[in-house]
Amino acid sequence: MRSSAKRAPRPSPSASWDNPLDQLLGYQLRRASFAMLSDLSAGIGKLDLRITEMSVLMVIHANPDISQSDIGRVLGIQRANMVPLITQLERRTLVSRGETRGRAQSLRLTPEGEALVRRCREAIAEHEARYTKLFSPKERQDLLRCLPRIWQDDMLPEESDL
């Protein structure tokens, strides 16, 4: 089930092909993102969690009584896709639904959920450490400073929207 951590058969040392995408920022982001996702997925998978599930737990932990829709807004997940996520986490008694404000339900972690979040944090720390050591402190800081510009403040569209 779990996609085991990248274990490429050591890219064939013989022929070397030209990759015309190498100088594209988007391509580099995609490959880098995929590599880190795979690595984290392996670590988190030992807790029988997927990355999105883990992310949801972390957000609820940091924001008790947040609603399902708001979690989606924080993480960039659509309302409709939050439903099976929360259902599953509730089924595992990691999350519980509390009072309802309007139609919204406030979500909290169960003690079991809190415990799992702590284990997630350890796994994440190990994971991040593996990659952080690839960079100087300044390089890492620059990455964390630059990357949010790409997706936050959502890129004023060129075309005016009348």
Partner DNA sequence: TATTGTTATACTCTATAACTATA
Partner DNA sequence: TATAGTTATAGAGTATAACAATA
Binding region for its own copies (CB under 8 A) = 5-8, 10-12, 15, 17-37, 39-40, 55, 58-59, 61-63, 66, 70, 73-76, 124, 127-128, 130-132, 134-135, 139-140, 142-144, 146-151, 154-155, 157-158
HEC letters along 1-30 = CCCCCCCCCCCCCCCCCCCCCCCCHHHHHH
Contacts of 9 (CB under 8 A, 6+ apart): none
> For residues 2-41, which are near DNA according to CB under 7 A?
3-4, 34, 38
Among 63, 69, 96, 110, interactor with DNA by CB under 7 A: 69
Name the token pair of 83.
């439903």
Angle between helices 51-62 and 79-91 (to 10 degrees): 90
| Min dist. Cβ of residue 99 to DNA (A) | 10
Counting residues that bind DNA (by CB under 7 A) gives 27
Closest among 32, 26, 155, 88 to 40, alpha carbons compared:
32
Q: Toward DNA, which CB reaches closer, 88 or 140?
A: 88
Indicate which of DNA, its own copies, none lies near residue 115 (CB less than 5 to 8 Å, by partner kind). Answer: none
Q: Provide the 8-state DSSP code for 136.
A: -
User: If binding is defined by CB under 7 A, does position 128 make contact with DNA?
Assistant: no
Q: Toward DNA, which CB reaches closer, 38 or 140?
A: 38
Q: Phi and psi (nearest 5°) for 97?
A: -90, 130
Pair 77, 60: CB distance under 8 Å: no
Indicate which of its own copies, DNA, none lies near residue 1 (CB less than 5 to 8 Å, by partner kind). Answer: DNA
Binding stretches for DNA (CB under 7 A): 1, 3-4, 34, 38, 50-52, 67-70, 76-83, 86-87, 100, 102-105
